[in-house]
Amino acid sequence: MHARATDPMVPRVLRVRSRRRDGPQVWTLQCDDGANEPPGFAAGQFNMLTAFGVGEVPISFSGDPARPQRIVHTIRAVGAVSSALTRLGAGAALAVRGPFGTGWPMSEAAGRDVVLVAGGLGLAPLRPALYQLLAQRAGYGRITLLYGTRSPQEILFRREIDSWRKLTGVMIEVTVDHAMPPWHGHVGVVTALIPRARFDPRRTLALICGPEIMMRFAAEALGAAGVASEAIYLSLERSMKCGIGRCGHCQFGGLFICRDGPVIRYDRLREPLRVREL
């Protein structure tokens, strides 16, 4: 018997088309998919990216789901693999497996107010959702992006954020942990922005991505503002070595975050998130 063409652990080759710096230690790679029929992806899903000879890591899609032939990833260089990936220039080869995991519940967003809460690099996995919402602006209620990051220098996708601000019915609030002049925006945690946002809690869908502690506080604050747990979604991060529910690394209680997540409804997370070191 021979291995079938579809071994989920064997990646395919991608070529970097362009590389752009998006902040300190953060680069966005646009890649061309060599596959005849690019598999496409849902906002919120991720790929397993390989830097040859170094290793493989999970990285969310940060591009537009309507353009599946262009694979876009925004990567912070924090260790061996992510650093090697961010050093790849135009024409360089990397390898990819995916898409894996659950996406943001975009079909549930129809007709509702949508609140997106992003912390740091958590904006990257939310960008595909924003693209999708803004492409069919009339299909949704008010759209609010609350974005917190460490410093003004670290604000991702600055030009795009400025262009989104100009759209009607779209509210964008950015806050930073630390700032010096000339910053005259918000300073403080992103959850402090929730009371400023205008949304009808009974018809709101909330999408949250960022550090776990920030997501917990944001979900609690949204709950306090009247949004039901069933209308709040979080994107979790765990160690991942396979992306397909096989290696065991990403377990969180009974959940495999790679397969049952990364995007999971808050009512399934509220209890386990309270257990330390689960």
Give the nearer residue to other proteins in terms of CB position, either 114 or 236: 236
- Figure out which of the listed residues 48, 118, 121, 155 binds ligand FAD, where binding follows CB under 6 A: 121
- Figure out which of the listed residues 242, 263, 269, 273 binds other proteins, where binding follows CB under 8 A: 242
Asked if residues 72 and 41 have their Cβ atoms less than 8 Å apart, the reply is: no
The C-alpha atoms of residue 225 and residue 220 are separated, in whole angstroms, by 9
Binding mask 179-218 for ligand FAD (x = CB under 6 A): ----------------------------------------
Pick from ligand FES, ligand SF4, other proteins, none: which does 258 bind, CB < 5 to 8 A by kind? Answer: ligand FES
Q: Which stretch binds other proteins (CB under 8 A): 107-115, 202-210, 213-221, 233-241?
A: 233-241
Q: Are strands 93-100 and 46-51 parallel, antiparallel or unpaired?
A: antiparallel
> Three-state DSSP class for 153?
helix
Nearest to 92 by CA among 53, 46, 51: 51
Asked if residues 201 and 112 have their Cβ atoms less than 8 Å apart, the reply is: no
Q: Is 129 in the site for ligand FAD (CB under 6 A)?
A: no
Q: Is 185 in the site for ligand SF4 (CB under 6 A)?
A: no
Q: Is 125 in the site for ligand FAD (CB under 6 A)?
A: yes
The C-alpha atoms of residue 142 and residue 159 are separated, in whole angstroms, by 21
- Figure out which of the listed residues 222, 232, 240, 255 binds ligand FAD, where binding follows CB under 6 A: 240
Pick from ligand SF4, ligand FAD, ligand FES, none: which does 247 bind, CB < 5 to 8 A by kind? Answer: ligand FES
Binding mask 249-278 for ligand SF4 (x = CB under 6 A): --x---------------------------
Q: Are strands 143-149 and 113-119 parallel, antiparallel or unpaired?
A: parallel
Q: Is 248 in the site for other proteins (CB under 8 A)?
A: yes
Binding residues among 56-115 for ligand FAD as defined by CB under 6 A: 57-60, 74-76, 78-83
Q: What is the 3-state secondary structure (H, E, C) of 106-150?
A: HHHHCCCEEEEEEEHHHHHHHHHHHHHHHHCHHHCCCEEEEEEEC
| CB neighbour list of residue 66: distance below 8 Å, 6 or more residues apart | 131, 132, 135
Binding residues among 188-247 for ligand SF4 as defined by CB under 6 A: none
The site for ligand FES (CB under 6 A) is made up of: 240-243, 245-250, 256, 258
Nearest to 97 by CA among 125, 63, 57: 57
Give, in degrees to the nearest 5, the angle at Cα 69 between 115 and 99.
60
Binding site for ligand FAD (CB under 6 A): 46, 55, 57-60, 74-76, 78-83, 121, 124-125, 237-240, 262
